Structure 1
Amino acid sequence: MVPSRRSVLLLAATAGLAVLATACGASAGPAPAATGTPRATGGASATTAPARPGTDPAASRDLLAAARSGDAAAVRDAVRRGADLETRDEQRRTPLLLAATGDHVEAAEALVAAGADPDALDQRHDTPWLVTGVTGSAAMARVLAKAGPDYTIVNRYGGTSLIPAGEHGHADYVREVTTNPAVRVDVDHVNDLGWTALLEAVVLGDGGPEHQETVRLLLAAGADRSIADTSGTTPLEHAVEKGQTEVARLLRG
């Protein structure tokens, strides 16, 4: 049976803590940065957040609904009526985050043009930009890049958008992010589990064509193939162990 992502994360975290305890000569106590425990985000309200002063509450509610459904015309109408661009739903998602999650590109374009914040965090510690690494939408990445997001903001596992993209084998997205001169995502960023995008593409990938292309693109962008996980295993060693012949060939260079 193929292990779930959660199982893999927990196993990697446990291994990382064991290595840390051995190296330090101490018992493994609480270490949030090494366990993969989602980062605390604080203060999420149970209901839709009220619109800010000077904005129209009804238009703000309509804006959330329009962004969620991808109705770009309704988005523009709600903005004209005085909607709060940063209004939140019950999970503290803004209209732009809802549009990005649903890959509603035209709606996102309207929101970006109106000045929506690409860095607004929800209760899961996602931002509009970060969620593009999960959806793998190159088109959405191009739209949000125009808003000038902060590429150093990380998700609840301490990762950049490239790391889940590596996991899912979103080759088109990786190509966009690593070749678009407006985007500045660290290709060698290490998350709280000790994994880079390259490691996730191998450890959590299936070795098929999309993951092969993802690995090739990451390497072309300068990804360091020598960065090992917390147990000291390199991407190449993982690929060989998993029987990913073509990925291993790419990693051997």
Structure 2
Amino acid sequence: MRRGSTAALMAVAGMLLAACQASTGEPQEVGSPPPVAPVSPGKEPRSPQASPTGPASPIASASPLSPEAQARLDQQLVAAAKANDAPRVAGLIRRGGNVNAKDSIQDSAFLYAGAEGFNEVLQLTLAAGADVASTNRYGGTAVIPASEHGHVETVKILIAAGVPVNHVNNLGWTAMQEAILLNNGGPRQQEVVRLLLDAGADPGIRDPEGRTALQNAERLGFSEIAALIRSRG
């Protein structure tokens, strides 16, 4: 090849190389990684794990229980209340147990704890939203059997919680009538009657035989209770 032709080819090659470098801004070596796109100020590069379609957050909300699972949990709660097992009751409530759910004989954790004087369990059910107006299989509120049994502290708790004191159950008795008719008229019964009177219980509500609380106290020889009722007019 002639010397002039060689020089011309070298000049053309130099022009092509210069054009390639101008289009990229700077020369790149073969095998170099691709350029990284600039990040706007104040923004962090987005991680692939942060994608909306990525895995869910490790702190996920608890799934609601199925009706069958809820029913099993509620029955476990009633059983724990009947066993006066306060720590287990607390745990079952935390898991979603319903303190107003009833078993086959219409006992709820709240109603049974009130009737039997299980005060720690009772307080747990009240804190969990127990229905203070709920009734048992006899149509009675929790304060009626509590009064019958002479559970003084329990009666205080139930009155403070707002359980109605003049409710009449299916037998036709109020809490005061049961406190008189179904116990021995002793000091605990006297204190229960006093608490009920202080809470606005009406001793004039008659039983199915037409007798008032005063008449029943006198008939049964409970002179202290009779005197207490008379002192309230």
Q: TM-score range by the shorter chain?
A: 0.5 to 0.7
Q: Taking structure 2 as the reference length, what is the TM-score of the superposition?
A: 0.67
- Letter of the structure 2 residue corresponding to residue 234 of structure 1: T
Written as runs of structure 1 = structure 2, the 5 A alignment for 1:30-179 is: 53=66, 84=69, 86-87=71-72, 94-179=75-160
CA distance in 2, matches of 1:54, 1:138: 29
Q: Kindly tell me: are residues 205 and 54 of structure 1, through their superposed partners in 2, closer, same or farther at Cα, counting changes over 3 Å?
A: closer
From the CA coordinates, give the structure whose radius of gyration is larger. Answer: 2
CA distance in 2, matches of 1:54, 1:209: 47
After superposition, what is the alpha-carbon deviation per residue over 1:168-220, rounded to whole angstroms, capped at 9, x for unaligned?
111110011112xxx23111100011100010000111001111111111111
Q: Report if aligned partners of 1:124, 1:156 keep a CA contact under 8 Å in 2.
A: yes
Q: Does residue 218 of structure 1 match 2:196?
A: yes
Written as runs of structure 1 = structure 2, the 5 A alignment for 1:192-211 is: 192-211=170-189
RMSD, aligned α-carbons: 1.9
CA distance in 1, matches of 2:66, 2:89: 24
Moved runs in structure 1, 4+ residues, more than 4 A?
52-55
Counterpart secondary structure, 1:174: helix
Counterpart secondary structure, 2:165: coil
Q: Report if aligned partners of 1:175, 1:217 keep a CA contact under 8 Å in 2.
A: yes
- Letter of the structure 2 residue corresponding to residue 161 of structure 1: A
- Among 163, 167, 174, the alignment partner of 1:185 is 163
- Letter of the structure 2 residue corresponding to residue 252 of structure 1: R
Question: Offset at 1:54?
Answer: 9.7
After superposition, what is the alpha-carbon deviation per residue over 1:93-142, rounded to whole angstroms, capped at 9, x for unaligned?
71111111111112111222222101111111111111123211222211
- Letter of the structure 2 residue corresponding to residue 217 of structure 1: L
After superposition, what is the alpha-carbon deviation per residue over 1:36-60, rounded to whole angstroms, capped at 9, x for unaligned?
xxxxxxxxxxxxxxxx7599xxxxx
Q: Report if aligned partners of 1:85, 1:111 keep a CA contact under 8 Å in 2.
A: no
Identity %: 40
Q: Kindly tell me: are residues 104 and 233 of structure 1, through their superposed partners in 2, closer, same or farther at Cα, counting changes over 3 Å?
A: same
Q: Taking structure 1 as the reference length, what is the TM-score of the superposition?
A: 0.62
Q: Which residue of 1 aligns with 2:212?
A: 234
Q: Report if aligned partners of 1:151, 1:185 keep a CA contact under 8 Å in 2.
A: yes
For structure 2, which runs of at least 5 residues remain unmatched after alignment?
1-64
For structure 1, which runs of at least 5 residues remain unmatched after alignment?
1-51, 56-83
Counterpart secondary structure, 2:71: coil
Aligned length: 167
RCO higher in 1 or 2 (8 Å CA, sep ≥ 6)? 1
